[in-house]
Amino acid sequence: MAEPVNRRRAVLRVIGPMAARLGGAVFVLWAVASITFFAVRLIPGDPAQAVLGGPGSQASPEALALVRNEYGFDQSVLVQYLAQLGRLATGDLGRSYALNQDVGPLVLGQLGGTVLLAALALVVAWLLALALAAWSTRGGLVAARVGSGLEIVAAALPHFWLATSLIVVFSIWLGVLPPISTGGATGLVLPVLTLAVPLAGFLGQVLRESLLTALESPFVLSARARGESERGVLWTHALRHASLPAISLSGWAFGSLISGAIVVETIFARPGLGRTLLNAVTLRDVPVVIGVVMIVAVAYILMTLLTDAASRLVDPRLRLA
Amino acid sequence: MRRPAPTRRLLAATTGIVALGLLVAGCTPTDPNEPVGEPRNGGTLTYASGDAEPSCLDPHVGGNFPQALVSAQYLESLVSRDDAGQIIPWLAESWTPSDDGLTWDFTLRGDVTFTDGTAFDAAAVQANIAHLQDPTTLSSTGYLALGKVASATAVSPTVVRFTLTEPDSALLESLSQPWLAMESPAALERSQDENCASPVGTGPFIVQSWVKQNAITLVRNDDYVSPPADAGHAGPAYLDEVIWRFIPDSASRYAALQSGEVDVIDNAQPDTIVQAEQSDSIEHLDSPRPGAANRVELNSGRAPFNDVRVREAFIRSANVDDAVSSLFQGTATRSYSALSSVEATAVSNAALFDYDPSAAAKLLDAAGWNESDAEGYRVKDGVRLSVEFPVSTNQSIPAEQSVFEQIQATAKETGFEVKLAPMDLSSWYAALASNDYDAVSAPYTKVGPDVLRILYHSDSIVPAPSGYFANLAQVSDPEIDALLTTAARTTDAAERNSLYADAQNRILEGFYILPLYDQQNHFLLRSNVVGLRTLPTVAVPTLYDAWLNR
């Protein structure tokens, strides 16, 4: 008799946290949609004008009435909000006011470019941070000073300034890389670097701190005593320990990369979610703003799950908990 | 008649020297733009626009400047305008108004077909006017321009008759605008989504594809026959293909031009223009937009600017000349007119806009603003002399925003507290709609002086259903109304011009506006792009005559 109870418990133990996570995710999405809806509607501006060729349009009374009726702008904000939520609940992101397009395909079409940019930037940032941390923790006092200096400077670089400087150096002076994203792989280099360098600064700071702590821990001492090489100590023991905080930081970093994409996509004239969002906010294109923000929220949630899983993989203690 | 020998010899020598000069100029490697030889066919030109990407490539829908820029490459209008401001034939060969000015017969070219094979004829024009006036098209600019047009009807395959509700002296100027261009009636039958993605015209290029947020690809129309009367050549365009891109950031746009990634950019800012002028590989094309000059409009509908003395005091207290020359680095010329300098009817009166702080102080004294508070601002009945000045960061370029800051600083010396409030476009229109401003600067592009009626007739104070109104100075003067109404009905050119001159003088002398400069419209192009010009209608570039010298 005890067995089914145990199995049920085991199932509950798996499903319980998953259900909690799912509930949390739904709550986050609802909150994101609601806050975005009211935030965009609270700032001045008539959404009907977005439909009619932008703010200040001199649309005829007939055209205006037609649009207000078709999009429901003549109804109360509460009714519009509930209608919007209802559509979202059925997975319908609605139709863009300004672009004459359904938001779902529009946002998904722009998703690939931004995810590619953010993912590459994350990888490059990790590689840069790892290389810098590995070098600066083993290269003596000077290396440590230089390493931490570089990290602070990199972390403080604004995307806007970095992008412009990279364009001046690599496109205008050296003429080796295009200043705008033209579709090829070379067009990705500067945007990825712009996003990766400041992030590498952040990751590097965290990584180096914990690496230093780990290298002085008893388990490293015992590994050394067992006769492990310095390289083995660093890469298999210390780094595994030290990377945990940086991995949890990556979830946050992904979100910051998406917001950085607004600047980077505008400067490098790259298609993507960031540019779509910027245009949509300017035009008060509520469905597109909500659509982009929802997609980013989903990406954020997925990324948090992924970093969770990655932490478990690296740290066996978490697997048991 | 024979010329005396010495003159002939002199003439020959001069010709020789000039020819040598031209030859040297043509051969000098530092001046590669001097074209030697015939235009060459072929090649792809990449154009990078700093304007927003249109949401619809059919300029009938909505109707803004970004649409005009790109659609001028594939759509054409019934008439155009030449450099001297004269209306010239395009898709219409000739036109005749009736004596009462209420019917206009346009005779069309008979040899033109749309790029989908549909014939361009009177029925096509009729369909286009109907499309513009159909509320479901959601046209605003084109719809407004056809305000006096009751209908357009095909009389014969090549004659179309416009019937008006009242005489319209601006009809031809309105029809010359790209927002009223002719599209294939068969294409207009499609859904609006389809027509927005690939409008079909008679122009030198054809819309081949549009990848949103990336580029519009245009290919040459090999059967093209209908350039406007002032074009540089006949027959199809020289370029094989045009890639139309959008690069919103000014610095990256210029970097892309420098690196040769793109061939032409628009919306060039003063700093890049100055840089480009020192470059051998980049040329500058300055083509001010028609219609109104950029100006600060003073809201005469509420205090303090409902008093003409306070308006004049503000204008006299603002040192605009110095601000413009230093902040625009010589790329913009100060205007003293309500109209753009490209309008032949523009009246300019520099004497009204002299910087004169002591005169300004006396005017304020006379108007009762004769006390000062602790911060040095003028006060009347306990109220500070404040000027609410909402600034649209979308429409005012950084240099212009700096000019406003200079106006703020110099007007402060006389005792005005100018409150600059930068805001995005939607908030800015909302501030105007709620009448929450004393000074404002709004561009207005339109072909011809009829823009004065839109901006300064008291009818334009009444807001449209959208809340929009064009008369931001809130000029309400029966005499100006009468002049503008009569001018809009007067088709006799000389009489019309004199009416518009009277109206402009009265507007300028009423100190309703502080003119700044023409609406800036600068293009930069690689020196190997030859033959690019702007259409003298709304100053959009046409790539029809352009070719690549490489």
Interface pTM, i.e. ipTM: 0.80
* H or E element, residue B292: none
Residue A217 lies in a domain: yes
Residue (of B362, B361, B382, B386) closest to B373 by Cα position: B382
Q: Could you tell me the residue range of the domain that residue A155 belongs to?
A: 103-320
Q: What is the pLDDT of residue B5?
A: 41
Residue A225 lies in a domain: yes
Q: What is the mean pLDDT of residues A170-186?
A: 84
- pLDDT higher than threshold 60 for residue A29: yes
* Among candidates A44, A53, A58 on the partner chain, residue whose Cβ is nearest the Cβ of B464: A58
Q: In the predicted model, what is the mean pLDDT of chain A? A: 83
Q: What is the mean pLDDT of residues B56-69?
A: 92
> Which region among A214-218, B285-289, B350-354, B409-413 has the lowest average model confidence (pLDDT)?
A214-218
Q: Do A52 and B140 touch (CB under 8 A)?
A: yes
Distance from CA of A279 to the nearest CA of B (A): 8
SS3 annotation, chain A: CHHHHHHHHHHHHHHHHHHHHHHHHHHHHHHHHHHHHHHHHHCCCCHHHHHCCCCCCCCCHHHHHHHHHHHCCCCCHHHHHHHHHHHHHCCCCCECCCCCCEHHHHHHHHHHHHHHHHHHHHHHHHHHHHHHHHHHHHCHHHHHHHHHHHHHHHHHCCHHHHHHHHHHHHHHHCCCCCCCCCCCCHHHHHHHHHHHHHHHHHHHHHHHHHHHHHHCCHHHHHHHHCCCCHHHHHHHHHHHHHHHHHHHHHHHHHHHHHHHHHHHHHHCCCCCHHHHHHHHHHHCCHHHHHHHHHHHHHHHHHHHHHHHHHHHHHCHHHHHC
Binned at pLDDT 50, 70 and 90, residue B315 comes out as very high
Interface-testing mutation among B190, B198, B245, B259, with chain A (most A C-beta atoms within 10 A): B259
- Note the Cα B467 to chain centre separation in Å: 23
Q: What is the pLDDT of residue B529?
A: 96
Kindly report the pTM of this predicted structure: 0.86
Residue A6 lies in a domain: no
Contact list in B for residue A172 (CB cut-off 8 A) is 255, 258-259
Instruction: Report yes or no: B204 and B227 within 8 Å, Cβ to Cβ.
Output: yes
Distance from CA of A145 to the nearest CA of B (A): 35
List phi, psi (to 5°) of A231: -65, -45
* Radius of gyration of chain A, Cα coordinates, nearest whole angstrom: 25
Q: Do A269 and B468 touch (CB under 8 A)?
A: no
- Note the Cα A267 to chain centre separation in Å: 18
Q: What is the mean pLDDT of residues A244-255?
A: 81
Distance from CA of A169 to the nearest CA of B (A): 11
Owner of token pair 């010396």: B413
- pLDDT higher than threshold 60 for residue B367: yes
Residue A257 lies in a domain: yes
Q: What is the mean pLDDT of residues B353-373?
A: 96
Domain check: are A129 and A70 in the same one? no
Classify strands B294-298 and B513-517 as parallel, antiparallel or unpaired: antiparallel
Which residue of chain A is at minimal alpha-carbon distance from B48?
Answer: A269
* H or E element, residue B393: none
Structural domains counted in chain A? 2
**Interacting residues of B3 by C-beta distance below 8 A, sequence separation 6+:** B11
Instruction: Report yes or no: B298 and B512 within 8 Å, Cβ to Cβ.
Output: yes
Q: What is the mean pLDDT of residues A245-272?
A: 85
Domain check: are A148 and A37 in the same one? no
Distance from CA of A148 to the nearest CA of B (A): 32
Q: What is the pLDDT of residue A320?
A: 58
Residue ending a domain, choose from A89, A116, A137: A89
Residue A179 lies in a domain: yes
Binned at pLDDT 50, 70 and 90, residue B14 comes out as very low
Distance CA A137, CA A235 (A): 12
Q: Do B213 and A43 touch (CB under 8 A)?
A: no
Binned at pLDDT 50, 70 and 90, residue A4 comes out as low
* Among candidates A43, A167, A267 on the partner chain, residue whose Cβ is nearest the Cβ of B427: A43
Domain check: are A117 and A197 in the same one? yes
CATH of the domain at A292: 1.10.3720.10
Domain check: are A160 and A47 in the same one? no
**C-alpha count within 13 angstroms, C-beta hemisphere, residue B510:** 23
The pLDDT tens digits for A72-81 are: 888 888 988 9
Domain check: are A131 and A230 in the same one? yes
Q: What is the pLDDT of residue A58?
A: 66
Q: Look at the alpha carbons of B507, B513, B517, B519 in this order and tell me if their dihedral is positive or negative.
A: negative
Q: What is the pLDDT of residue B19?
A: 41
* Among candidates A66, A109, A269 on the partner chain, residue whose Cβ is nearest the Cβ of B252: A269
Q: What is the pLDDT of residue B11?
A: 41
Q: What is the mean pLDDT of residues A267-287?
A: 86
Per-residue tokens: B108: 């069309």
Q: What region, left, alpha or beta, does residue B234 occupy, with left being phi > 0 and alpha being psi -120 to 50 degrees?
A: beta
Q: What is the pLDDT of residue B341?
A: 95
List phi, psi (to 5°) of A172: -90, -50
How many other CB atoms are there within 10 angstroms of residue A285's CB atom? 25
Q: What is the mean pLDDT of residues B322-334?
A: 95
Burial of B177 from C-beta contacts in 10 A (0-12 / 13-18 / 19+): buried
Which residue of chain B is at minimal alpha-carbon distance from A283?
Answer: B426
- pLDDT higher than threshold 70 for residue B29: no
Whether a cis peptide bond, with omega within 30° of 0, leads into B304 is yes
Q: What is the pLDDT of residue B15?
A: 41
Domain check: are A81 and A125 in the same one? no
Residue ending a domain, choose from A89, A120, A148: A89
Which residue of chain B is at minimal alpha-carbon distance from A179?
Answer: B256
Q: Do A60 and B258 touch (CB under 8 A)?
A: no
The pLDDT tens digits for A212-227 are: 888 778 887 788 888 8
Distance from CA of B415 to the nearest CA of A (A): 31
Distance CA B98, CA A219 (A): 101
The pLDDT tens digits for B177-225 are: 999 999 999 999 999 989 999 999 999 999 999 988 889 999 999 999 9
Interface-testing mutation among A58, A159, A165, with chain B (most B C-beta atoms within 10 A): A58
Q: What is the pLDDT of residue A53?
A: 62
Binned at pLDDT 50, 70 and 90, residue A306 comes out as confident
* H or E element, residue B81: strand B79-81
Q: Do A269 and B426 touch (CB under 8 A)?
A: no
Q: Cα angle vertex B392, ends B386, B394, to 5°?
A: 165
- How much of chain B exceeds pLDDT 70, in percent? 93
- How much of chain A exceeds pLDDT 90, in percent? 15
Domain check: are A81 and A148 in the same one? no
Q: What is the pLDDT of residue B365?
A: 96
Distance CA A259, CA A275 (A): 10
- pLDDT higher than threshold 60 for residue A261: yes
Residue A14 lies in a domain: no
Q: In the predicted model, what is the mean pLDDT of chain B? A: 91
User: Helices marked H in B190-237 — which ranges?
Assistant: 192-197
The pLDDT tens digits for B139-181 are: 888 998 999 999 999 999 999 999 999 999 999 999 999 999 9
Binned at pLDDT 50, 70 and 90, residue A179 comes out as confident
Domain check: are A36 and A133 in the same one? no
- pLDDT higher than threshold 50 for residue B17: no
- How much of chain B exceeds pLDDT 90, in percent? 82
Q: Cα angle vertex B56, ends B51, B57, to 5°?
A: 80
Domain check: are A169 and A260 in the same one? yes
Distance from CA of B196 to the nearest CA of A (A): 9
Domain check: are A26 and A120 in the same one? no
Q: Do A49 and B255 touch (CB under 8 A)?
A: no
The pLDDT tens digits for B375-388 are: 999 999 999 999 99
- pLDDT higher than threshold 90 for residue A145: no
Of B8 and A304, the structure prediction assigns the larger pLDDT to: A304
Residue A40 lies in a domain: yes
Per-residue tokens: B277: 């002028």
Q: What is the pLDDT of residue B229?
A: 93
Q: Look at the alpha carbons of A285, A287, A292, A297 in this order and tell me if their dihedral is positive or negative.
A: positive
Burial of A185 from C-beta contacts in 10 A (0-12 / 13-18 / 19+): exposed
Of A320 and B435, the structure prediction assigns the larger pLDDT to: B435
Residue A226 lies in a domain: yes
Domain check: are A145 and A169 in the same one? yes
Domain check: are A115 and A85 in the same one? no
